[in-house]
Amino acid sequence: QKEVEQDPGPLSVPEGAIVSLNCTYSNSAFQYFMWYRQYSRKGPELLMYTYSSGNKEDGRFTAQVDKSSKYISLFIRDSQPSDSATYLCAMSVSTGGFKTIFGAGTRLFVKA
Partner 1 sequence: DADVTQTPRNRITKTGKRIMLECSQTKGHDRMYWYRQDPGLGLRLIYYSFDVKDINKGEISDGYSVSRQAQAKFSLSLESAIPNQTALYFCATSDSQGGRTEAFFGQGTRLTVV
Give me the residues that bind partner 1 (CB under 8 A), please.
4, 6, 8, 32, 34, 41-46, 49, 88, 92, 94-100, 102-105
Closest separation in Å from C-beta 60 to partner 1? 20
Closer CB to partner 1, 14 or 43, in the complex: 43
Q: Dihedral of CA 32/6/98/30: which sign?
A: positive
Closest separation in Å from C-beta 107 to partner 1? 10
8 A C-beta contact, residue 36 and residue 50: no
Closer CB to partner 1, 84 or 105, in the complex: 105
What residues form DSSP beta bridges with 79?
none
8 A C-beta contact, residue 63 and residue 56: yes
Rounded Cα distance, 21 and 63, in Å: 10
Closer CB to partner 1, 39 or 71, in the complex: 39
Closer CB to partner 1, 2 or 77, in the complex: 2
Closest separation in Å from C-beta 22 to partner 1? 15
Least Cα distance to 101 among 35, 26, 3, 1 occurs for 3
